[in-house]
Homo-oligomer: A and B are copies of this chain.
Amino acid sequence: MAGITLQEVSRRAGVSTATVSRVLNNSPLVHPDTRRRVLRLIKQLNYHPSPTARALARARTQTLAVLFPGIASGFYSEVLCGMDDVASERGYHLMIAFSHGPQDQEELFIRCLRERRADALVVLNLNPPDALVRAATAHETPVVFIDRPARGRRISCVQIDNETGSVEAVRHLAAHGYRRIAVLSGPTDSFDAQQRLAAYRQAMREHGLPVTSELVWQGAFTEESGYAAVQRWLKRNRSLPDALFACNDAMAFGARQALQERGLNLPMVGFDDCETARHLGLTTVHVPMRQMGRWAVELALAWIEGAPNEGVPDRVVPTRLVVRESCGCARKGVKV
Taking the complex as formed, is A116 at the interface, i.e. its CB lies under 8 A from any CB of chain B?
yes
Taking the complex as formed, is A78 at the interface, i.e. its CB lies under 8 A from any CB of chain B?
yes
A117 CB to nearest B CB, Å: 5
* CB pair A77 B84 closer than 8 Å: no
Interface with B: A176-184, A206-214, A239-247, A272-280, which one?
A: A272-280
Taking the complex as formed, is A234 at the interface, i.e. its CB lies under 8 A from any CB of chain B?
no
* CB pair B88 A77 closer than 8 Å: no
* CB pair B275 A74 closer than 8 Å: yes
* CB pair A52 B116 closer than 8 Å: yes
* CB pair B98 A84 closer than 8 Å: yes
* CB pair B77 A72 closer than 8 Å: yes
Taking the complex as formed, is A53 at the interface, i.e. its CB lies under 8 A from any CB of chain B?
yes
Taking the complex as formed, is A191 at the interface, i.e. its CB lies under 8 A from any CB of chain B?
no
Interface with B: A55-63, A153-161, A262-270, which one?
A: A55-63
**CB contact list, A1-47 vs B, under 8 A:** 1-2
Give the interface size class of chain A.
Answer: 35 or more
A77 CB to nearest B CB, Å: 4
Taking the complex as formed, is A205 at the interface, i.e. its CB lies under 8 A from any CB of chain B?
no
A246 CB to nearest B CB, Å: 14
A56, A78, A139: most-surrounded residue (chain B CB, <10 A): A56
Which residue of chain B has the shortest Cβ distance to A113 in the bound complex?
Answer: B1
User: What is the CA–CA distance of A80 and B161 in the complex, to the nearest angstrom?
Assistant: 29
* CB pair B140 A2 closer than 8 Å: yes
Taking the complex as formed, is A97 at the interface, i.e. its CB lies under 8 A from any CB of chain B?
yes
* CB pair B52 A56 closer than 8 Å: yes
Taking the complex as formed, is A50 at the interface, i.e. its CB lies under 8 A from any CB of chain B?
yes
Which residue of chain B has the shortest Cβ distance to A55 in the bound complex?
Answer: B52
* CB pair A48 B114 closer than 8 Å: yes
**CB contact list, A100-158 vs B, under 8 A:** 100, 114-117, 138-140
What are the residues of chain B within 8 A of A316 when measuring CB–CB? none
A150 CB to nearest B CB, Å: 19
A41 CB to nearest B CB, Å: 17
* CB pair A81 B72 closer than 8 Å: yes
Given contacts A93-B117, A97-B88, are A72 and B61 in contact (CB under 8 A)? no
Task: In the A-B complex, list the 4 residue pairs whose CB atoms are closest, starting with the nearest.
Answer: A74-B74, A72-B77, A77-B77, A72-B81
What are 13 sample pairs from A and B whose C-beta atoms fall under 8 A apart?
A50-B116, A51-B117, A52-B61, A52-B117, A55-B55, A72-B74, A73-B74, A80-B96, A81-B98, A95-B96, A253-B279, A275-B276, A279-B279
Additional A-B contact list (4), CB under 8 Å, known A72-B81, A73-B77: A51-B115, A52-B52, A55-B55, A280-B280
